[in-house]
Amino acid sequence: MKLLRYGDVGSEIPGLLDSEDQIRSLVGVVPDLAGDVLSDESLEKIRKLDFGKLPLVEPNVRLGPCVAGTSKVIGIGLNYADHAAETGAEIPTEPVIFMKATTSISGPNDHIEIPRGSEKTDWEVELGVVIGKKAKYVSEQDALSHVAGYCVVNDVSERAFQLERCGLWDKGKSCDTFSPLGPWLVTRDEIGDPQDLRLWLEVDGHRYQNGSTSTMVFGVQTLVSYVSQFMTLLPGDVITTGTPPGVGMGQNPKVFLKPGQTVRLGITGLGEQEQQTVAAK
């Protein structure tokens, strides 16, 4: 299934995409795409509905973040060997974890705000893993049973804030609008192998990133298990799993975002995002 949330910012309501790519409302079926609604049992009940009897939604409605109730967004750094190489970093021997503030979450087509004082705002197309069942000390073998599904994430990053301003990466990763999620939460039954997905990203029509999740250093099973050794993952939490090469910081000369640009990105089977860049007010 392709689940989504639509409506004004902060007032999104749940829906799904039917087989004809029409949006259907889930109002009255589930309260939101959050908490226990993301469990296997709840998702199976939705799957058994007659989608054709659900109310149609106007096609040009704004899409919000595809999941609600997110207690944390966990980023994984340097998880593609070729991306690590383009940034001059060594391939990590364990997953590199950082946090993104939940206030950075935005809809898939909402504007990206270039922060005040930013000179190095960058892009990163990433596979997002949405947790559906509480995960604590889970094994790799059991890890995917804790996953509700997957989504596209743009892990927007301000490199000067991240790397040149002392401390951890978080302040370069957590600005408002720096975590567009969606357009859909695609349930894991529709994704046969999360390590066989194409990722791409363009800025103003120029393709900078074109990679595959097959080149991850640490795969989804490993990441879910690994992160759960250090913190309890709750339904609605998102692990954003790293980016392939082609980020602005890796260009020669370096290229960074400025107001007035268009960013498009997507992942096979998970849909596409499109954002306009604007100056933060």
Spell out the domains of the chain, with CATH numbers in brackets: 2-53 (no CATH), 73-279 (3.90.850.10)
Least confident of 13-22, 40-49, 152-161, 163-172: 163-172
Residue 246 has pLDDT above 80, yes or no: yes
pLDDT tens digits for 3-46?
999 999 999 999 999 999 999 999 999 999 999 999 999 999 99
pLDDT tens digits for 110-136?
999 999 999 999 999 999 999 999 999
Residue 223 has pLDDT above 80, yes or no: yes
Distance (Å, whole) CA 225 – CA 233? 10
| Structure tokens given for 254 | 């370096």
Give the pLDDT confidence score for residue 169 in this predicted structure.
Answer: 85
Would you place residue 90 in the very low, low, confident or very high pLDDT band (cuts 50, 70, 90)? confident
Give the pLDDT confidence score for residue 244 in this predicted structure.
Answer: 96
Mean pLDDT of 238-253: 96
CA nearest to 267, candidates 188, 206, 164, 186: 186
Would you place residue 85 in the very low, low, confident or very high pLDDT band (cuts 50, 70, 90)? confident
Mean pLDDT of 50-76: 97
Give the pLDDT confidence score for residue 166 in this predicted structure.
Answer: 84
Residue 83 has pLDDT above 80, yes or no: no
Strand-pair partners of 273: 265
pTM (2 decimals)? 0.96
Strand ranges across the sheet with 271-279: 112-114, 271-279, 262-267, 198-203, 206-212
Give the pLDDT confidence score for residue 82 in this predicted structure.
Answer: 78
CB atoms within 10 A of CB 177: 22
Task: State the Cα torsion 239-240-244-246 to the nearest 10°.
Answer: -170
Distance (Å, whole) CA 55 – CA 61? 14
Q: In the chain, what percentage of residues exceed pLDDT 70? A: 100
Give the pLDDT confidence score for residue 240 in this predicted structure.
Answer: 98
Residue 89 has pLDDT above 80, yes or no: no
CB atoms within 10 A of CB 118: 20
